[in-house]
Amino acid sequence: MFPNVGLSVLRRFLNPKSGRTQLHARQKLVQRNASKLAKRVSVCLDVRTNDKGDLVVTKGDQYDVRERTNANEVRNLGKPVDLARQYYKDGADEFSFLNNTAFREFPLGDQPMLQVLRYASGNVFVPLTVGGGIRDFTDGNGRFMAICENWEEQSRTDLPSLWKSVVVSIDPRRVYVKDLKAVEFKTVKVRKPGQGKVFDIDLIKLISDAVSIPVIASGVTGAVEHFTEVFRETNASAALTARISDRKEVN
């Protein structure tokens, strides 16, 4: 059995002389019933530039990714390409490389991130998504680029498969209001992201029932039962998590 089914299809085309599997196994294949679309577990790698200028996979409390040490360095969980390669071997279904801070500056200038994606695509044969910076942009010379121009420009960088679909990311907050009047006085309590320990099942259910496109549930979770729950209780097509990858807390 070839380890990567997709690559085996390609290999068998390129080299038809490679031996065939046994007849009875093939006949069994023809008889089996088709299954259905699988739920995906997407691994999120939060990539930041550390003080030495290297891209590292990090993890933070909201936007604070620095260690609580004297050196106060950027939390370093490993090199993006090495980690991606490892989790690919471990069976990750897809990857999201996020760099919310660097892309804020000028997404087209983020060459190290683009290089990470190029290297990753040479070793990781599952879908890759890049996040951050896909928006309207005015450069230093006052040249305005609409969101689609920005996107088009990025697609010229010869990246792997990044542009076959567009993922919209929504970072919702659950807002508790005791008294409607309170809203006017801005005393609304906002639950900070990262404080929830599990997927917000109610919210994901509401959203996934309201739209006809695939929904990726995002949550700060690392436990297998949380994935089982979100897939059982909601219509989410995939679940995204960073903890599973960054800290190997789940197999």
Partner 1 sequence: MWDFAMNHNKPPRSASVFLDGSTQVVTLRGYCGGNVRSLRNAIKYLGFDIKDVQTPEDILKAKRLVFPGVHGVGAKQERYGGNGSAEWLICLGLQLLFESSEENGPVKGLGLIPGVVRPFDSSKGIRVPHIGWNALGIAKDTQILDDIGKSHVYFVHSYRAMPSDENREWISSTCKYGDDNFIASIQRGNVHAVQFHPEKSGGIVTFSQPI
Taking CB under 8 A as the binding criterion, the range among 13-21, 69-77, 177-185, 224-232 that sits at the site for partner 1 is 13-21
Instruction: Name residue, tokens 């920005």.
Output: 150
Question: Is 171 among the catalytic positions?
Answer: yes
Residues 6 or more apart in contact with residue 141 via CB below 8 angstroms: none
Under the binding rule (CB under 8 A), the answer on residue 169 touching partner 1 is no
Site string for partner 1, 215-234 (x = CB under 8 A): x-------------------
58 or 241, CB closer to partner 1? 241
Interface residue with partner 1 among 45, 84, 102, 128 (CB under 8 A) is 128
CA-closest candidate to residue 29, choices 60, 58, 1, 63: 1
Sign of the torsion formed by the C-alpha atoms of 215, 220, 222 and 228 = negative
d(CA 134, CA 102): 12
d(CA 121, CA 163): 14
Under the binding rule (CB under 8 A), the answer on residue 82 touching partner 1 is no
Under the binding rule (CB under 8 A), the answer on residue 43 touching partner 1 is no
Interface residue with partner 1 among 44, 65, 84, 126 (CB under 8 A) is 126
Under the binding rule (CB under 8 A), the answer on residue 251 touching partner 1 is no
- Please, which of residues 95-114 interact with partner 1 by CB under 8 A? none
Q: Which two tokens stand for residue 42?
A: 């997407």
Q: Which two tokens stand for residue 204?
A: 């994901």
Task: Tell me whether strands 175-176 and 189-190 are parallel, antiparallel or unpaired.
Answer: antiparallel
Minimum Å gap between C-beta 221 and partner 1 is 20
Amino acid at the residue 246 = D
Question: Contact positions toward partner 1, by CB under 8 A?
Answer: 1-2, 4-16, 20-21, 26-27, 29-30, 32-40, 93, 118, 121-128, 152-153, 155-165, 212-215, 237-238
**Which amino acids are annotated catalytic?**
46, 171
